[in-house]
């Protein structure tokens, strides 16, 4: 996996700088992170309200990193924190700020589980 270089800030008339939008994770990179590191990215590049949701498993973590001059947030699950660190360090390098526990209250064992459809009973 190659590191994405952040684009050079573009000056605007008010003197502030505006960064071009960047994509932090593509679908291929998300599937590669799951296969290689065991990191399931639930919310990629979300707002603080999106990653701070209660509708997530209890073992989810909020990862904070800089990309393109602004802070990004991901909601991620991983079996071990070292794999989470390896995944994000290999992708973003020194842009990685850290991670905290998410506020989810779902059972991690049942996360993503869909119960089978009920079979109809035959009448005799």
**Nearest CA to 58 among 102, 92, 120, 23?**
102
Please tell me the distance from the alpha carbon of residue 51 to that of residue 47, in angstroms, as a whole number: 6
Residue % of the chain over a pLDDT of 90: 35
Band of the pLDDT at 22, cuts 50, 70, 90?
low
Whole-model pTM?
Answer: 0.70
pLDDT per residue as tens digits for the range 54-70: 889 989 999 999 988 88
Q: Whose CA is closest to 63, among 72, 30, 55, 54?
A: 72
pLDDT at 3 over 70: no
Higher pLDDT, 31 or 15: 31
Q: What is the per-residue DSSP string for 81-101?
A: HHHHHHHHHHHHGGGEEEEEE
């Amino acid at each position: 996996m190659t590191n994405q270089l952040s684009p050079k800030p573009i000056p605007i008339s008010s003197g502030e700088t505006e960064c071009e939008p960047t994509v932090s994770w593509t679908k291929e990179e998300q599937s590669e992170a799951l296969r290689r590191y065991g990191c399931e990215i639930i919310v990629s590049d979300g707002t603080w309200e999106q990653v701070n949701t209660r509708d997530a498993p209890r073992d989810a973590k909020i990862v904070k990193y800089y990309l393109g001059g602004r802070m990004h947030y991901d909601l991620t699950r991983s079996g071990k924190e070292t794999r989470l660190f390896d995944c994000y360090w290999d992708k973003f390098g020194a842009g990685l700020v850290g991670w905290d526990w998410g506020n989810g209250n779902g059972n991690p064992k049942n996360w993503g589980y869909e119960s089978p459809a009920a079979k109809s009973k035959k009448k005799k």
